Structure 1
Amino acid sequence: MSEYSLLLNRCNEVYFTVSGTFGKYRCEPTWSWQPPSFHDYDVWYAVSGQGEMQINEVSYDIQPGSCFVIRPGDRVTAEQNPHHMLTVLFCHFIVNDITKEAAETLILPDKRCVNFREMSAIEPLLQQLIELAHRQAEDDPIEINLLLKLILTRWIRESERQSMPHQSYYHKQIILKIQDSIRLSLSETVNYESLAKSVGFTARYVSKLMKEYTGITLKETVTKLRMERAVHLLTETTMSVTEISSALGYTDIYTFSKLFKRHFGYAPSRLRSLHPADTGNDE
């Protein structure tokens, strides 16, 4: 199990509570940060501006989307670019063991900074966290715990992705884009070259990537996604098997049923018999 998986599992075993300071501020013109050694955790995020932070003598550039998680005992200093002053969101928190009710530690990756490419994945969550911390209503600790878990989960996932070789990450993004395109056009005849051209490659190269990362080719991926959709339509709609076959781009029910049985080991009519919502006539 990777260090990221271990950290995610640990986050599920504890609960988080706000401690110390939190807020959203635009740093003052002469601002520099040299806090004493931390006794709690701090999630620190740059909304705008530029600067540099050192954590345990490791330097990180600060830019919009930079998100740091600082743990107890860390030695931290930071400076901003006076021509691009920082606006930051931050929140101190502590980690409590669910059973022991005692402060516990999280073993964080050595690299404490993640630069979010999609700032919308993290910034609104931090904003909600700080609003809840300011409000301090009776039920807010539950939501604060869940928000911090979600923030840390996204931080860990992004940290893991950025530790991957760039080419590997890039290839996986291509695969996800192709899969999304297929899902949106399951009823259409697939033009494999046009599909691959949308990500700048040939169908042969995309199929090779698919096989390498998912274990199945591009053509097999189309069938797999159609069969997954077929299960949903068979179990959650009143469409007949014939209608489903046509809706998924098959010209005859025989071909659809044959592929379905090959994929799942039983006929679509058997699955439908277990979910008798259908009011049409299956042919």
Structure 2
Amino acid sequence: MSTPTFWRCEPSWSWTSPPLTDHLLWCVVDGRGAVELDGRRQELRPGVCAVFQPGDAPRATHDPHRRLLVFGMHFATATTAAPDPRWGEVLDRELLGVLARTSDASYRRGDALGRRQAELCLEQLVTLVWDAVHQPGRSAVDTAVDEIARQLRQDPSRDWTVTEMAGRAALSRAQFSRRFVAQFGMSPAQYVIQARIDRAHQLLTESGMTVTETAAALGYTDVPYFSRQYKHRTGRTPSQDRQAQPGFQPSTESAGREAGPE
């Protein structure tokens, strides 16, 4: 890979590339313009990224009053890295910026670890472009619903309500529920339950917490109800999973507390 580079295009800049001999990652960070390749044209704005392959000869121009700021690098690979079409719009511009800056800074450290980190950032950036090409048209609402689902997984013990979730996405309860089911294949309430059971399994098998302690930590006041939900989702009782962890040593007290719910 070549040195990762940011460049602010000069006011009089234009680009007519000879046929490329390697791959080129090309990401717009700021400004406005247009790029053309094989009769296709793409308006350039922040978040539009391309991966060109050997033989491509792109052309580009920009608005001199809104000069392009581009991040990119050349790289070689034995596999096909360029999507078709070559470009897409990466909606998560924060992640795009972090990866670009990290790649640039890491490579310029000049050591083996920095170069490897820059290579990993390149792989992730190319993946983002592929996702943008093959999953276009995701709206701000889709992104908001994804973020809410992420928060549910991060904090499943919280007393989540559909009304609160819908408000965060600026949707009605019915609209939010429909969008959520379309994206995740289950209702928000069922998603919360699954997130709690997933976290319960982790606590039972890794933390040493008892079934009663785990249920309480995840907001269950009824331990038998928690145990039924757990078995329904996993096919095992909470005690079975807890006792399966290496080095499990049941105490008399914990055995007595956990015998009832199952």
Report the TM range for the smaller structure's normalisation. Answer: 0.7 to 0.9
Residue in structure 1 matched with residue 91 of structure 2 by the alignment: 117
CA distance in 2 between counterparts of 1:217 and 1:112 reads 36
The 10-residue stretch of structure 1 (143-152 or 75-84) with the greater mean CA deviation from structure 2: 143-152
Q: CA deviation at 1:65?
A: 2.5
- Structure 1 93/278 Cα, relative in aligned 2: closer, same or farther at 3 Å? farther
Partner of 1:75: 57
> Aligned-pair distance for 1:57?
2.6
Q: Is the 8 A contact 1:237 1:278 kept in 2?
A: no
- 1:271 equivalent to 2:238? Answer no
Q: Per the alignment, in what secondary structure is the counterpart of residue 135 of structure 2?
A: helix
Percent of aligned pairs sharing the same letter: 27
Moved more, 182-191 or 211-220: 182-191
Counterpart code for 1:45: C
Distance 1:247 1:211, change over 3 A: same
Aligned to 1:66: 48
Pick one of 101, 111, 120 that aligns with 1:146: 120
**Which residue in the other structure is 1:219 paired with?**
189
Is 1:24–1:90's contact at 8 Å kept on the other side of the alignment? yes
Shift in CA distance, 270/153, structure 1 to aligned 2, threshold 3 Å: same
**1:165-176 aligned within 5 A:** 165-166=137-138, 172-176=142-146
2:149 alignment counterpart: 179
**TM-score normalised to structure 2 length:** 0.81
C-alpha contact (below 8 Å) 2:51/2:81 kept by paired residues? no
Structure 1 segments unaligned to the other structure (5+ residues)? 1-16, 96-103
2:76 equivalent to 1:94: yes
| Map of 1:261 onto structure 2 | 231
Task: Provide the alpha-carbon RMSD of the alignment.
Answer: 2.8
Would you say 1:52 and 2:34 are equivalent positions?
yes
Deviation sequence 1:165-202 (CA, Å, 0-9, x none): 54xx5664354234234345533444333333332334
Structure 1 residues 206 and 86, CA, compared in 2 at 3 Å: closer, same or farther?
closer
Change beyond 3 A, Cα 1:158–1:277: farther
- The Cα shift of 1:62 comes to 1.8
Deviation sequence 1:5-32 (CA, Å, 0-9, x none): xxxxxxxxxxxx33xx753222222211
CA deviation profile, 1:98-117 (whole Å, cap 9, x unmatched)? xxxxxx35163322222233
Q: State whether residues 46 and 87 of structure 1, in contact with CA within 8 Å, keep that contact through their aligned partners in structure 2.
A: yes
For the structure 1 residues 93 and 194, does the alpha-carbon distance in structure 2 shift closer, same or farther, using more than 3 Å as the test?
closer
* Uncovered stretches (5+) of structure 2, i.e. residues with no partner: none
Q: Is the 8 A contact 1:237 1:277 kept in 2?
A: no
Counterparts of 1:277 and 1:159, CA distance in 2: 53
Q: Which amino acid is 2:57 matched to?
A: R
Alpha-carbon distance, 1:154 to partner: 1.9
2:10 paired with 1:36: no
TM-score (norm 1): 0.76
